[in-house]
A and B are shown apart, each in its own frame.
Chain A
Amino acid sequence: MKIAIASGKGGTGKTMVATSMAAALAPIHNIQMLDCDVEAPNAHLFLNPTINEIKPASINIPTIDYEQCILCGQCVDICEFNALALLGDKIEVFEQLCHGCGSCSIHCPVNAITETPRKIGELKFGTFNKNRPFLFGELTISEPMSTPIIRQLKSNMKDDVEVTILDSPPGASCSVVATLHDADYVILVTEPTPFGLHDLKQMIGVISETGSLAGVIINRDGIGDSAVEDFLSKNGYPILMKIPYQENIAEGLASGKLLIDIIPEFEDAFLNLYEMIKEQIHEEIYH
């Protein structure tokens, strides 16, 4: 079972929710934690995993052999991402635009293109809570493309666990879709503000495409207005939990504490939430 935590708007509390849920479940359930926010991974700061393996994440970019190349430009035409250009007597490769799809080398009529790995970041594997797998990716600073590293991270997931928690990047674009497209349940974290609502609607748009079950956690409850709750009741999305807007929560998080250590009642709340989600997934599958 895969549960992803996403938000649309950044800074709404995805990692706060994901890390506290992971920490609450880890002593009793066979879980693994994936931090897919590869541009700014920070779940490890809260769960303090022991990292015991680091692997490079790379994409395959084209290298042109000019002994073979006939400058026909077919590779340029086929490239969906404009990563190649035929300029005078050479093919220029714009490495940072290349998605590593390999279409250019497949289409080259004279086999002049070989694919060479280019490192774009690192995959880090370890454990937290004694032996629960903890995986995260880290995109190299200045690299623009996070989806390949998220895909590679996910291909290293253990499949003999009861539940995988995926901490998603912010936004509602490719990297988020790469994280949650195969999730069984998506927890959307939002805040009761116009900005929170706007981005929540975008995420609900994404989820209606991926077809996952979803529910909403309202963070910073007590600020803003009731528009988020009105929207949710009108559209039939359940409110899973409310986390109050309190200074001691902000202070605790800033010093690296988990929400369940700042307000211990949340430990049971996350355990109950997990049981509720599990039931809902089973119902979806068997009915």
Chain B
Amino acid sequence: MIIVISSLGKTLESPPNPRFGRTEFFIKYNSEDNTWEALENPAVTQRGGAGIAASQFLVNHNISAAISGHFGPNAYSALNSAKIKMFTFQNNYETVSDVIQAYEQNSLEEA
């Protein structure tokens, strides 16, 4: 299962970013083999429709779930159409690793 977490930095130790469309990075994590990579979000500089552009970018990466603090209505609609599950976290996680752990323990809320 491949998931992405919106992140302020490029590593698992970076703080998660509560913003989805204009997050600087996505950490792409493969739960089968514990591998990960950082993806630069091309939508961060878009003038408008960043949520849609970020969603399109992730759809092209064949992910199954996206995790962020909040999904706007356009991003929600786009990810939903692409059958990508969405989960949200509150402010109580310090690192992307913590968010992944919470996801694996099923303690994140589905959007």
Contacts and interface: CB of A to CB of B under 8 A. Distances in A.
B81 interface: yes
A82 B48 contact: yes
B contact residues, range: 10 to 19
A237 interface: no
A92 B77 CA distance: 9
Given A81-B49, A94-B49, A97-B49, A86 B74 contact: no
B4 to A, nearest CB: 16
B49 A76 contact: no
A85 B53 CA distance: 8
Contacts of A86: 56, 59
B22 to A, nearest CB: 12
Contacts of B53: 82
A78 to B, nearest CB: 13
Interface of A: 76, 81-83, 85-88, 90, 92, 94, 97
Contacts, number: 45
Interface in B31-52: 43, 46-50, 52
Contacts of A81: 47-49
B2 interface: no
A175 B104 CA distance: 48
Contacts of A83: 49, 52
Given A82-B50, A87-B81, A94-B52, 18 more contacts: A76-B56, A81-B47, A82-B48, A82-B49, A82-B52, A83-B49, A83-B52, A85-B56, A85-B59, A87-B55, A87-B56, A87-B59, A87-B82, A90-B81, A92-B77, A92-B78, A94-B74, A94-B78
A147 to B, nearest CB: 12
Contact of A85 (B47, B48, B50, B78): B78
A88 B48 contact: no
A286 to B, nearest CB: 40
Contacts of A85: 52, 55-56, 59, 78, 81
Nearest to A96: B74
Contacts of B56: 76, 82, 85-87
A173 B21 CA distance: 22
Contacts of A97: 48-49, 52, 74
B83 interface: yes
A202 B47 CA distance: 19
A88 B82 contact: yes
Nearest to A90: B81
